A and B are shown apart, each in its own frame.
Chain A
C-alpha cells in the first residue's frame, strides 16, 4: 500500500501539496503544531498512488518519505 509520511512539525500549512495532489487527498489538520501552523494530513491513505508529487513540491521537505 502506498504511504506518505508527513512530519507535522515541519509543515507550515502552505497547501502546495494539496493543490498539486492529483487525487486531492490532503486536508488541513485541526490540531496545530508547536510553531502554531495547522499541518496537512491525509485521511484516506488507501487512495494514494505513491506518485510523490506532493513530496516534490513541498518547500519544507515536511513529507519525509513516500512509499509506493
Chain B
C-alpha cells in the first residue's frame, strides 16, 4: 500500500534550496493540500523576494512575483479581480515583517480573504545572513556581528501575537516544521488556513518556524532542533486567533 507519494503538483526541477532548508518541506505541504482540496486550477500564488523568489519553478500553478514585501498588496489586487480563485502569499521574515510590515498589517486589518504563509527562519537567507525582524536576542548575524542587542537592535517581532489583536483576521496560527510531529501539525494548520479562505471567505495567516542551516552555521538536524527548542522560547507554537 502506497502511504506516501511526491505530489504531482511539484514540478520536476530539483529545489535550489540549501541542504536541510525547510522551504522544501513547506512547498511539499502546500502542494499536498492544494492537490487534496482539488483547487490547483483555481489557485494563484504570490512569491516573495527571498530564497523562495523562485517558488514558481516548483509549484505548478499560476504565480506572480511581487516586489519585496508587497505580496499582500499584489494578492489583494488579484483577489479583488478574481474573488472565486484561491490566492495565497508565501513570504519570508524580511518580506513580511520588515519592508512589508505595512502591507501585512493592513491586509490583515481589511480581512482580505487570503492565505498568508509566513516562513520565519530568524534571518535573511538569500542576501547571505543579515538580521531579520525575528532574529533572536543574542543571535549573531551579518549585521549583528556582536549578537542582537535589545538596546541597539530592538526586540524580535511576534507577528502572530500582534496580528491577533486585529478584528480583520479569522485565523492566526504559528507552527513548526522542526520534527515529524510538528510537520504533521503544520499540515493540519495550513489546510485550515486554506479552508478559511475557501469556505468562509476570510483571512488566515500561518507563521512557520523554519530552518536556515547555512546562515545559522548549523548542521540540518541541529537546525531542526533549534527551531523546536530555542526558537519556540521566543515564538511559541499555537493558535492565536480562531
Judge whether A19 and B221 touch: CB under 8 Å. yes
User: Which residues of chain A in 19-68 are interfacial with respect to chain B, using CB atoms and an 8 Å cutoff?
Assistant: 19-20, 35, 37, 50, 52-53, 55-61, 63-68
CB nearest neighbor in A for B187: A56
Interface residue SS majority, chain B = mixed
Contacts of B224 in A (CB 8 A): 16, 57
When the two chains form their complex, are residues B4 and A65 in contact, meaning their CB atoms are under 8 A apart? Answer: yes
Size class of the contact patch on chain B: 20 to 34
B6, B7, B10, B18: residue with the most chain A Cβ atoms closer than 10 Å = B6
Q: Please state if B1 and A59 are interface contacts (CB–CB under 8 Å).
A: no
> Contacts A15-B220, A37-B19, A56-B183; is A9 near B14 (CB within 8 Å)?
yes
A65 touches which of B6, B15, B18, B184 (Cβ 8 Å): B6
Supplied contacts A15-B220, A16-B220, 10 more A-B pairs, CB within 8 Å: A10-B14, A12-B20, A16-B221, A56-B180, A57-B180, A59-B220, A60-B15, A66-B2, A67-B2, A68-B2
Q: List 14 interface pairs A-B (beta carbons < 8 Å), by A numbering.
A: A15-B220, A16-B220, A19-B221, A52-B3, A56-B180, A56-B184, A58-B25, A59-B17, A59-B19, A59-B22, A60-B24, A61-B10, A64-B5, A64-B6
